[in-house]
Amino acid sequence: MPSSIICMQLSVFFFMLIMGTNATLGFGFGWVSGGGGGSGEGYAPLSPDFYDLSCPQANDIVISVLEKAIAQDPRMAASLLRLHFHDCFVQGCDASVLLDDSPTIASEKRAKPNANSVRGFEVIDEIKVALEEACPGVVSCADILTLAARGSTVLSGGPYWEVALGRRDSRTASINLANVMIPAPTFNVQRLLASFKQQGLDETELVALSGAHTIGMARCASFKNRLYNQNGNNQPDETLEKAFLNELGSVCPASGGDNNLSPLDYASPKAFDNTYFKLILGGRGLLFSDETLVAGNGFPNIVELVKAYAEDEALFFSHFADSMVKMGNISPLMGSNGEVRQNCRRVNNY
Ligand code: HEM
């Protein structure tokens, strides 16, 4: 960054400090130079050095809380990675998914893809408390979700990527958008791609990001129809490999057990690797939305990508990292839009 811009940022910072405004602390120095993009027209785009002056220890704090949380509960890495996805697909990466119900908020946590399913909110709270202690009012909840998603991936053995920061937090949430914009496990490849395209993501990003299912678990409710009644004819999904179908049947009975869990990648559920792609090529993908990637159905590029990632883990890692950056850049609030919440569960001065 040119020194003239740094000087300008510093002088504005000290001016705001003298004026005694809290808002200054939330700006994190990333907002003066031109550029724009996203919803903060006229402000600097997201930048990896956004907190370099205002909270240089931000990532270290995130990682230290994550290390503890994941050591206690290895699934937490998967849950936090998923939270970032469910945040970004609903009115952009603005931490709207973290807001609890209140007189002005209908929480996205109650939407069908989230209810009784998304988790990790206590860990985000813990990170926020630690950050508020170290640098009050500076690091947004939306950036915490971004850093937690990367940290969780790395701590599970997956790739590292540089994250751009400076997202601000929404003062709104949308349960309706959460119901509509987050793709369902019953979607076929065509619908999955349409859903990703709505967010500006392409075929490569769909396949690479689906590889997040290399870690974590799903409830029987999310794949039970595949075992007992895929097409309304009381028959299992014929793309399910038979031995795998039998194993799943012992976890998910025909009636009840909807909250029983099965790993998305049973071969290595805690390791971020490319096994997921090998499994779906063998009919051992857990969700219909996983298995549909190899169905063909007019999407030969998608099948080729699955094969390429199954053969070449480094290629998967590199595409996953690029795709996470792109997903993390969906419609961020920047500059004077939104706010830096003090508590990720509620808007300031509600
Ligand atoms: C392609 C469309 C996608 C669909 C249809 C989908 C659907 C699902 C479903 C149904 C579950 C299980 C939820 C439950 O039963 O409680 C799940 C879990 C998970 N999803 Fe996805 N997902 C998709 C894409 C993604 C993306 C893009 C990411 C992240 C980049 C992701 C990360 C995860 C993770 C890590 C888990 C395990 C969470 C845990 O164990 O707590 N998913 N997904």
State what percent of residues in the chain have pLDDT above 70.
87
Residue 43 — very low, low, confident or very high, per pLDDT cuts 50/70/90?
Answer: low
pLDDT in tens, 201-228: 999 999 999 999 999 999 999 999 999 9
Q: Is residue 289 predicted with pLDDT exceeding 50?
A: yes
State how far the Cα of 343 lies from the Cα of 98, in Å rounded to an integer. Answer: 10
pLDDT in tens, 306-345: 999 999 999 999 999 999 999 999 999 999 999 999 999 9
Stronger pLDDT, 31 or 304, i.e. the higher one: 304
Mean of pLDDT values over 125-135: 98
Mean of pLDDT values over 156-175: 98
- According to DSSP, the residues that pair with 169 across neighbouring strands are 339
State how far the Cα of 304 lies from the Cα of 310, in Å rounded to an integer. Answer: 10
Annotated binding site: 87, 90, 92, 94, 96, 108, 183, 213-214, 265, 273
Distance in Å from the first CA to the final CA of the chain: 37
Q: Which atom of ligand 1 is nearest to the CA of 77?
A: 35
Which of 118, 312, 92, 317 lies closest to 216 in space, CA to CA?
Answer: 118
Q: 85-94, 133-142, 341-350: which range is least confident on average?
A: 341-350
Mutation to probe ligand 1, out of 73, 82, 207, 286 (largest number of atoms < 8 A from CB): 82
State how far the Cα of 232 lies from the Cα of 226, in Å rounded to an integer. Answer: 10
Mean of pLDDT values over 43-72: 94
pLDDT in tens, 91-119: 999 999 999 999 999 999 999 999 999 99
- According to DSSP, the residues that pair with 339 across neighbouring strands are 169
CA of 113 to the centre of ligand 1 (A): 9
Q: Which helix (H) or strand (E) holds 261?
A: strand 261-263
Mean of pLDDT values over 291-310: 94
State how far the Cα of 58 lies from the Cα of 76, in Å rounded to an integer. Answer: 20
CA of 81 to the centre of ligand 1 (A): 9
CA of 213 to the centre of ligand 1 (A): 6
SS3 content of the chain, % helix, strand, coil (to 5): 50, 5, 45
Among 86, 128, 167, 326, the active-site one is 86
With contact defined as beta carbons under 8 Å apart, do 185 and 287 qualify?
yes
Asked about 84 being catalytic, the answer comes back as: no
Residue 8 — very low, low, confident or very high, per pLDDT cuts 50/70/90?
Answer: very low
Q: What are phi and psi of 213, to 5 degrees?
A: -75, 15
Mutation to probe ligand 1, out of 79, 85, 87, 294 (largest number of atoms < 8 A from CB): 85
Q: Tell me the CA distances in angstroms from 89 to 46, 62, 77, 201, one per residue in order.
A: 18, 23, 19, 11
Look up residue 289 and give its amino acid.
S
Annotated binding site for Ca(2+): 87, 90, 92, 94, 96, 108, 214, 265, 273
Residue 45 — very low, low, confident or very high, per pLDDT cuts 50/70/90?
Answer: confident
CA of 82 to the centre of ligand 1 (A): 6
- According to DSSP, the residues that pair with 219 across neighbouring strands are 261
Residue 194 — very low, low, confident or very high, per pLDDT cuts 50/70/90?
Answer: very high
Mean of pLDDT values over 222-240: 96
Domain boundaries, the chain: 183-327
Annotated binding site for substrate: 183
Q: Is residue 198 predicted with pLDDT exceeding 90?
A: yes
Angle, helices 76-88 vs 121-134, to 10°: value is 80
Tell me the CATH number for domain 183-327. Answer: 1.10.420.10
Q: What's the distance, CA 179 to chain centroid?
A: 16
List ligand 1's pocket residues with C-beta within 6 A: 75, 78-79, 81-82, 85, 117, 119, 183-185, 187, 192, 209-210, 212-213, 215-219, 222, 264, 287, 289
Residue with tokens 């952009």, as numbered in its chain? 92
State what percent of residues in the chain have pLDDT above 90.
86
Residue 296 — very low, low, confident or very high, per pLDDT cuts 50/70/90?
Answer: confident
Give nearest CA residue, ligand 1 atom 16. 117
With contact defined as beta carbons under 8 Å apart, do 208 and 288 qualify?
no
State how far the Cα of 20 lies from the Cα of 41, in Å rounded to an integer. Answer: 26
CA of 265 to the centre of ligand 1 (A): 12
Residue 2 — very low, low, confident or very high, per pLDDT cuts 50/70/90?
Answer: very low
State how far the Cα of 187 lies from the Cα of 89, in Å rounded to an integer. Answer: 16
